[in-house]
Amino acid sequence: MKLCIIGTGYVGLVSGTCFAELGNNVICVDKDKEKIKNLKSGKIPIFEPGLEELVKKNIKHNRIKFSSDINSSIKRSNIIFICVGTPINKKTNNADLKYVFQVTRSIKNNLNKYKIIVNKSTVPITTGDKIEKILMNKKNRNKFEVVSNPEFLREGDAIRDFFYPDRVIVGTNNKRTNRIIKSLYLPLIKKESRYFNTSRRAAELIKYASNAFLATKISYINELANLCEKSSVDVKDVSKGIGLDQRIGERFLRAGPSYGGSCFPKDTKALIHTADKFKVNLSIVKSTIKANELRKNLPVNKIHKILGKNLKNKKITFLGVTFKPGTDDMRESSSIKLIPYLHKKNAKIRYYEPTGEKKEFNKLKNVKFFTNIEDACNSSDLIIIHTEWNEFKQLNFKKIIRKKKINVFDMRNLYSLKKMKKNKINYFGIGR
């Protein structure tokens, strides 16, 4: 099918490339001309494992094109995917839909034949109704259908999540439209993925409800981790013990510093805003947000517990600074607040980050980026394992720190308490 993907961020670029891989004829549109120029030569603006190869392969097979001409791209396509950002409006905590509506107006001007408009951006309930209203006029009636098709792609696993989704959610009550979209996803559904057709508003809410539930699950185990620390229980045992119950499930029960990223913080707040609009109190999601905010002070308290009140000239090494492994994304990463705090306390901070130096810390004179783990850790007073990259999972601390007293704050509980004790390492985890 002829697809037009509008927006080439994490969602648009991955979805467009994967749809091309499935044999569709795809054109990806972005208003950023520089970005489009790079994409045409296969240069990818985001760090997503496997994406560069897939883009290059589909350019070679002439299945994917890139353009900043939104009008002709819409005209030549049958299905238009809206994949633009819906950033949080800091004042109202609402999802900012200006880009969605800008694109909708462009579509309205180019309805030269019947088109399906599929919204993949994360949007509050009733946004599909608003898109429909903008498009509707006497001339355009019956020339389009608006569908909600939320994405569930995790950064770092986005391609796998696209090809092996737990479910494909399609929000439309139009049977013909549903048949067309179902045929587009057919290759994935054959892989036992669950194709679920529901109403447009239900599909819009399912996206927020999923992310808010996952965020709640994380805040739940994070708060239990606090109780574990006080009662000498290892939270990893509790995660395992409850996760073996099929109704709970083992995933998303890893205690950590607090959840970050571009979605959970934004989507939980936007869901509360929507609920407030409908005068419904989502008290559990509000508690999830509050618990996560409170948790942001935890790493600081732990560092002072290990190194004392005065951090002046203390050498502190961060292994990883992104919000999770497999991405270069720093959005809402706990390092964003933690490193400037330690810098203000005149500590000497070094960091090794697999995805390279971060602009967020460039202006901090006591913060130094290293290109290898050994140099970053050598003679450090404290090693902080901030992000659970695989290369941090089997370190020989004695060899890389070369100091008698070895302090390790493992924010992702990667190491066994027993082994750390046996190797006489001053080891601190989370919830242990």
Interacting residue ranges for ligand UDX, rule: CB under 6 A: 151-155, 211, 214, 218, 252-254, 256, 259-261, 263-264, 323-324
Distance CA 195, CA 165 (A): 9
Nearer to ligand UDX, 35 or 386 (CB): 386
DSSP symbols for 170-217: EE---HHHHHHHHHHHHHHHTTT-EEEEE-HHHHHHHHHHHHHHHHHH
Residue owning tokens 């013909």: 176
DSSP-derived 3-state class of residue 4: strand
How many other CB atoms are there within 10 angstroms of residue 248's CB atom? 15
User: Burial, 370: exposed, middle or buried (Cβ in 10 Å; 0-12, 13-18, 19+)?
Assistant: middle
| Residue 263 annotated as catalytic | yes
Contact 365, 306 (CB under 8 A): no
Q: Residue 79: name the closest of 153, 144, 167 by CA.
A: 144
The nearer residue to ligand UDX, 30 or 332, going by C-beta atoms, is 332
Q: How far is the CB of 244 from ligand UDX (least distance, A)?
A: 15
Q: Which is nearer to ligand UDX, 256 or 311 (CB)?
A: 256
**Total residues belonging to the chain:** 432
Q: CB 58 → ligand UDX: shortest distance, Å? A: 22
Closest approach, Cβ 259 to ligand UDX, in A, equals 4
- Residue 86 has which token pair? 């819906």
Looking at the Cβ atoms of 1 and 46, the one nearer to ligand UDX is 46
Write down the least CB distance from residue 268 to ligand UDX, Å: 11
Closest distance between ligand UDX and the C-beta of residue 214, in Å? 6
Complex with ligand UDX: residue 320 or 401, whichever CB lies closer: 320
Q: Which two tokens stand for residue 141?
A: 């009636």
Please identify which of the residues 4, 28, 83, 263 carries the catalytic annotation: 263
Active site residues: 263
